[in-house]
């Protein structure tokens, strides 16, 4: 049956059934704002009936109150960046999560091409403790394999897989289906030499936090090695991609990451390319990398298009 032709009575019955269900469904928009959740979901995450908060705000409020999901971290902001670097970046994801009230949930995330996400959680508390520990260990191992250890953003393996997924998508007739950008912190070796490697790590962390704050639902951002990072920007024109990077560069110029040296500032350079029909992941990455090299030759602290 065509969903557009489902009678109103049936739709109302369906809505009523799931509203009181013990299953926990929720829908987030492309900006990760909660747009719908049934009573069970709102109860689990301590939300008022009409609240429409961002996922990050929900998690932060619950963490500070000792409610909702169990988060074994001493630094919520680090945990948030690490989790958001993977959240919503693939079409489907399934994992387990435990709640402070003792329940254990099986959660699925399904992402639509427009960025909306459907989350459905089921209570699996009755699984044997040994089974739960095995599943949790598996999830932790998977998370570690996809995350850069220092910055907490996606690692090279994860972001290269997202690049491969993007170039494999059907390209529009004019060949525009997204952009790839490679960024590099300017004079990073000199920063390490002058201020020490610990300060260099602080700069890397600062850059990752600022750059990650610009990531949208379908975008992906990660560290590909050393002081080099990558943005994958699906459904983005080259012009919009350049504007996006200019905003990132502006933010970095104003950053002051070293407490021991408040006047310290730094910059970054970027190369960007639009995907072309028939591109391979290697070809798209190589063009963006050539753009980065060109930006360096032209004086750094700028965006170059290839």
- Catalytic positions are 227
The residue behind tokens 């699925």 is 108
Which H helix or E strand runs over 206?
A: helix 197-212
Question: Does residue 289 contact residue 270 with C-beta atoms inside 8 Å?
Answer: no
Report residue 198 as tokens.
């610990």
CA 294 from chain center: how many Å? 28
Query: Burial letters for 123-151: b for 16+ Cβ neighbours within 10 Å, e otherwise?
Result: bbeeeeeeebeebeeeeeeeeeebbbeeb
Of 224, 126, 129, 238, nearest in space to 174 by CA:
238
Provide the token pair at 109.
């995330």
286: three-class secondary structure by DSSP: helix
What is the rounded CA–CA span in Å between residue 15 and residue 123?
Answer: 20
């Amino acid at each position: 049956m065509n969903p557009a032709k489902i009678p109103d009575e049936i739709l109302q019955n369906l809505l009523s059934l799931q509203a009181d269900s013990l299953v926990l469904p929720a829908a987030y928009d492309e900006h990760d704002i909660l747009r719908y959740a049934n009573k069970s979901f709102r109860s689990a995450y301590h939300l008022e009936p009409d609240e429409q908060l961002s996922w990050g705000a929900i998690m932060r409020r619950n963490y500070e109150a000792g409610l909702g999901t169990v988060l074994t971290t001493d630094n919520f902001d680090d945990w948030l960046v690490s989790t958001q670097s993977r959240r919503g970046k693939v079409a489907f994801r399934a994992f387990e999560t435990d709640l402070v009230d003792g329940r254990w949930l099986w959660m699925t995330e399904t992402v639509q091409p427009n960025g909306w996400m459907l989350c459905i959680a089921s209570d699996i508390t009755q699984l044997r403790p040994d089974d739960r520990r095995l599943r949790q260990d598996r999830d932790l191992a998977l998370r570690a394999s996809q995350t850069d250890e220092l910055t907490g953003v996606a690692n090279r393996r994860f972001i290269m897989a997202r690049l491969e997924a993007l170039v494999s998508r059907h390209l529009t007739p004019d060949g525009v289906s997204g952009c790839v950008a490679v960024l590099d912190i300017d004079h990073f070796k000199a920063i390490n030499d002058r201020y020490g490697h610990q300060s260099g790590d602080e700069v890397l962390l600062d850059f990752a936090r600022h750059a990650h704050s610009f990531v949208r639902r379908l975008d992906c951002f990660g560290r590909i090695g050393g002081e080099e990072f990558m943005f994958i920007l699906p459904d983005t024109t080259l012009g919009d991609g350049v504007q996006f990077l200019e905003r990132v560069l502006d933010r970095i110029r104003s950053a002051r990451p070293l407490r021991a040296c408040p006047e310290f500032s730094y910059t970054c350079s970027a190369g960007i390319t639009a995907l072309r029909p028939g591109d391979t992941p290697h070809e798209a990455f190589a063009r963006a990398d050539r753009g980065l090299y060109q930006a360096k030759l032209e004086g750094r602290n700028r965006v170059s298009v290839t």
